[in-house]
Amino acid sequence: MIAGSTRYLRFILFAVFACLVLYLITQSKYNDAQEFGTGAPSQAGNTAASSSNLNNQKRPAVGEAYNPADYPMPLTPNDPNWDSILFDGRAPGPRMNATFVTLARNSDVWDIAHSIRQVEDRFNRRYNYDWVFLNDKPFDATFKKITTSLVSGKTSYGVIPKEQWSFPEWIDQDKAAKVRADMKERKIIYGDSVSYRHMCRFESGFFFRHPLMLNYEYYWRVEPGIQFYCDVHYDPFRFMAENKKKYGFVLSLYEYIETIPTLWESTKKFIKNFPEHVVEDNAMDFLSDDGGETYNKCHFWSNFEIGSLNWLRSRQYLDFFDLLDQDGGFFYERWGDAPVHSIAAGLMLKKDEIHFFNDISYKHTPFTHCPTGEKLRLDLKCSCNPKDNFDWKGYSCTSRYFDIMGLEKPEGYENQQD
């Protein structure tokens, strides 16, 4: 009888102890999530003991001042924290006020799922940045479920206001319809599409002022069906912020002139009307070979962008967009958001506020950016074929960008020119 109750007591004590241990474990994970402000479910299963130091390191809150030297950015294998990517944990250091952003249709769900998975595997699983999804129609339950399950940060879903996805009242509908019919006949890609034009106008003038985007200072645009081929060890948002960059790209090329015949005329009108918006030391020479008289058609490919939202929300940028919108070329021609963003960046940013991310590999059909330099590709565990790199080929403008910046081209570029 006595022996029996002792065993019983021992069992109770053990059970209480086990509950306490369990409580402490779950509690510490909860705190961890609270402290870093994401509570990302995908991190809950993290058990790698080696990463716990990194996970538990205190980091400044978003927006809080910090000393960059306290959190070295792993830009090269010689920098501290380069190997932290080998752990499952969250990357040490501060987080920026930043988000991924994707414009998509419900039918894009599997193509965007693929894109997200790559961004997460190569970068965001350790940084847990948020992701904003925008659509001209409400996102359905499947789209939300799949994308939320893949993103390690918080997701949010916004509908685009009608007036940002329709014809402004000053657009002559007959004239616009004739243009579409004509472009269809001339087989200009997306030439007869109305929705493509709304998309280009929205990406040119509105995505950055959607209510969900007002919560952030930097964005990284991701499209469905893209590829990332290399590890990203450091935080590109932080690189932008600390180096005062406003616009980052990976691919550049010549625009199809049939889609923008009068865009440069409108640009010249803007320069004339708003000379105060054109900055000194700008990148005009990237856009024009004759000091601004004509456009050489070079632009940054905007399906990948890492940029400053505050810049896009500036009076300068909005004056530019409003003038273009009034001139009607989004509908009377087929102006793309890529040349619009690029021309704005070329005129209104100092040239060293624009950044080329050689170390971020990327493909959006049909062009690939695969980092130049074998050592870099090995260090970053890249899986792209260097032969596919578009940077130094004849139709790319990246060589011109290097020239105007006075940058030395990376080793090995000569072998990738054709």
Ligand X SMILES: *[C@@H]1O[C@H](CO)[C@@H](O)[C@H](O)[C@H]1NC(C)=O
Alpha-carbon gap, residue 396 to 402, rounded angstroms: 12
Check residue 215 for interaction with ligand X (CB under 6 A): yes
Contact flag: residue 108 with ligand GTP (CB under 6 A): yes
| 216 touching ligand X, by CB under 6 A | yes
Least Å from the CB of residue 247 to ligand GTP: 18
DSSP letter string, 274-333: -GGGSPTTB-HHHH-SSTTSS---EEE-TTSEEEEHHHHTSHHHHHHHHHHHHHTHHHHS
Determine if 217 is a binding residue for ligand X (CB under 6 A). Answer: yes
State the pairing for strand pair 252-254/305-308.
Answer: unpaired
Which entry of Mg ion, ligand X, ligand GTP, none binds 361, CB below 5 to 8 A by partner kind? none
**Is 305 one of the catalytic residues?**
yes
> If binding is defined by CB under 5 A, does position 223 make contact with Mg ion?
yes
Q: Which stretch binds ligand GTP (CB under 6 A): 62-70, 101-109, 276-284, 354-362?
A: 101-109
Residue closer to ligand GTP by CB (options 142, 415) is 142
Kindly write down the DSSP assignment for every residue of 75-124, as one continuous string. -STTSTTGGGGGSSSPPPS---SEEEEEE--GGGHHHHHHHHHHHHHHTG
**223 or 319, CB closer to Mg ion?**
223
Binding to Mg ion (CB under 5 A) within 268-307 occurs at none
Report the distance separating Cα 355 and Cα 240, nearest Å: 8
Q: What angle do CA 146, 150, 154 make, to 5 degrees?
A: 100
The one catalytic residue in 120, 217, 255, 305 is 305
Based on the shown chain and the rule CB under 6 A, indicate whether residue 168 belongs to the binding site for ligand X.
no
Contacts with 277 (C-beta within 8 Å, 6 or more apart), sequence order: 270, 316, 319, 320, 347, 348
| Partner whose footprint covers residue 135, from ligand GTP, Mg ion, ligand X, none (CB < 5 to 8 Å by kind) | ligand GTP
Q: Tell me which of ligand GTP, Mg ion, ligand X, none is bound by residue 108, counting a contact when its beta carbon lies within the kind-specific cut-off of 5 to 8 angstroms.
A: ligand GTP
Owner of token pair 């105007």: 404
Residue 62 binding ligand X, by CB under 6 A = yes
Return residues touching ligand X (CB under 6 A): 62-63, 97, 215-217, 310
Catalytic residues, by residue number, are 305
